[in-house]
Amino acid sequence: MRSSHALDDHGKIQPENVPERIIWWAIVWTYPLWIIGGLYIVGSLLGWVLLLLLLIKILAQDRATPPEARIRISWVIWSWIIGMVIMEVALLVGHLDFDLGMAMIVKSSIGWAKGWAALALYPLAGNLRIRPQIIYRAVCIIGLQTLVITPLLLVTPFLHLPEILYVSPLKAVGGPGPEFFDVRLYEIDPTTNQLRWRLFTPWAPALGFVGNVYFMLALQEKSRRWKVLGLAGAILMCLICKSRLAQVCLVLIPIITTMLTNLGRPAVLILLGVASYLGGLFSPVAIAFFNDFWESFKSARADSTRVRMALKRIAIYRWETEAPIWGHGVVERGSHVVEWMPIGSHHTWAGLLFVKGIVGFCALMVPMLASFIDLLIKGLDRRRLTAGVGLSMVIILFLYTFGENLEILVYLYWPGLVVLGLALQEKLTSARNLQES
């Protein structure tokens, strides 16, 4: 028997409850929100709205609530909650250690509520009645919108239109910078003088980050037509941003996820055995090829690579010598050596060590590792429908920790975090019921 929300090439899917409606409209209105400068505001507040809905649902429980309908938060999600609370503790201690003042503590705590806290809030929303198909379809709609809008933006530099059309007055509510509220038609890379586009994101590599998240979500869409549109839009995002990491991840992540979720299959184990044997035989050639690839990868944008590596070295050195336990509390403006970029930016792990010390480093590492192990085990069971895509979200987050600060972009890739939460909460019984429906 087919459920009322089963999907096919001609079927439609619509939100069925309040959480689904909120998530659906927050995704499909991405471009209108960008035009008015409200994307950062919505992405920063939405996690707290979903938390409020979850608290209402928890308070509504009583003795008559069936056991299968009760809210039971996964231990892995609890690790995210505890880890992000520890982030705030590290923030407070770092501020007190360096006498940064009460005003800075309040400002940084608001930043924590919009950034690091969201890394726990959105997975926590997986306890609400949200179908992942709603998110898959909404992401595919964004893919279609991207395919329509991008050709118009590609011609703007040749029409001699300004790079930044305007900055939204909503910037007055506060944020990391004006780039989170402007409408930029295109940009010229200062290191290569090449044109690149970032659409609704604050910088071009962030578009590649979002594109990879959307690509893996669109892969789960059941409608062939919508899947093609969603995948095409995600690939276009990764290409026009001209991010090296985005294009490499676009190829690697589906392969890695497929291999990990099929480790229990004899054919995959045999393939890995053969690959291991051949790898031993041809290891010198493989190592030389990788070294050549890595050098060409770095030289593609040599100035950018130089700045990123310098930021990483400075952050780690100052962490070791000045604040190894709790960190410095805030990022600091760098010198001309790093083109005035903030120390503690462009690298999540180095940034955590600099700003929140080894405490903050572990506060992210532990829940990320726990999520990977939990979803790897679940992914081996073919009846767990969202474990594979949840695992791919963890892999994307991990790879992008080496090129971005996760917390500052969470307002963009939050749909992937909600699906991650659904995967962490997925039970075998619910997966079996969904297959039978």
* Residue that is written with structure tokens 């659906």 in the block: 24
Which residues make beta-bridge pairs with 188?
Answer: 195
Identify the band that residue 339 occupies on the pLDDT scale cut at 50, 70 and 90: low
Provide the pLDDT for residue 234: 96
Distance CA 107, CA 32 (A): 28
Q: Do 392 and 415 meet the contact criterion of CB atoms below 8 Å apart?
A: no
pLDDT given for residue 343 in this prediction: 82
239-265: per-residue pLDDT in tens?
999 888 898 899 999 988 888 887 777
Beta strand pairing call for 195-196 and 332-333? unpaired
| DSSP labels, 189-212 | -TTT--EE--TTSSSHHHHHHHHH
Distance from C-alpha of 354 to C-alpha of 3, rounded to nearest angstrom: 51
Cβ partners under 8 Å of residue 216, min gap 6: 253, 254, 257, 389, 392, 393, 396, 416
Could you say which DSSP state residue 16 is in? -
pLDDT band at 280, cuts 50/70/90? low
Question: What pTM value is reported for the model?
Answer: 0.89
> What tens digit of pLDDT does each residue of 118-169 get?
999 999 999 998 999 999 999 999 999 999 999 999 999 999 899 999 999 9
Mean pLDDT of 258-275: 74
Q: Which helix (H) or strand (E) holds 333?
A: strand 332-333
User: Who wins on pLDDT, 62 or 413?
Assistant: 413
What average pLDDT does this structure show over 331-339? Answer: 73
For the record, the structure tokens of 378 come out as 């679940």
Averaged confidence pLDDT in the chain: 85
Contact 314, 345 (CB under 8 A): no
> By the 8 A CB rule, do 363 and 86 touch?
yes
pLDDT for 24: 96
The predicted pLDDT at position 433 comes to 41
Calculate what percentage of the chain has a pLDDT beyond 70: 86
Q: Is the pLDDT of residue 62 over 50?
A: yes
- Between 300 and 398, name the one with better pLDDT: 398
Q: Distance between CA atoms of 327 and 322, rounded to whole angstroms?
A: 8
DSSP 8-state secondary structure symbol assigned to residue 323: -
